[in-house]
Amino acid sequence: MVQIQPVESKPPRGYFGIGVEGASKPMNFGNLSRSAHAFGASFVFTVAPTRRIEAPPSDTTASSFHMPWYSFDTPGDLLLPDGCRLVGIELTEDAIEMPGFRHPARAAYVLGPENGSLSPAMLERCEFVVKIPMRFCINQAMAGAITMYDRMISMGRFAERPVGAGGPVGE
């Protein structure tokens, strides 16, 4: 029987935040903020939300007590820390496919609304536009979780995957 030895992860480097432009469904934003809290986000944000979002029931970790939640009226009002690079997550033809994207050490990811896309003004603000290689759009909370997982894996926090099936083999 193969013995699988746990591999310790390295502490994260850099920071990230994640948000939504045109948030309209509090339950989805609550799910996104809960996932952001679990993945170690430094902040979450909304830009031009269609309604005020606070303490949605889907945020079972009460993430607003553990990391800042920011809200901005327009893409032009979005304020990020110096050196933080804005990354749009959008299914467009010319977007970079996520598996080939190098995540910045200091990043803020912005997702479009449930029933639409990032606005031209927001796309103009983004330094990078990245797409999850899929046939069609998915729910923003799911897209956010995939983005944060990809960031975690690609930032080198864990050992390389083994060549064969299974986990690391003990010596």
Q: Which CATH architecture has domain 15-154?
A: 3-Layer(aba) Sandwich (3.40)
The candidate with the shortest Cα–Cα distance to 139, out of 103, 97, 111, is 111
* Rounded-to-10 torsion of CA 82, 87, 88, 94: 130
pLDDT in tens, 77-98: 999 999 999 999 999 999 999 9
pTM of the complete model:
0.86
Domain definitions of the chain by residue range: 15-154
pLDDT at 146 > cutoff 50 = yes
* Rounded-to-10 torsion of CA 64, 38, 147, 157: 130
pLDDT in tens, 20-63: 998 776 667 778 988 999 899 999 999 987 766 665 555 566 56
- Look up residue 93 and give its DSSP letter: T
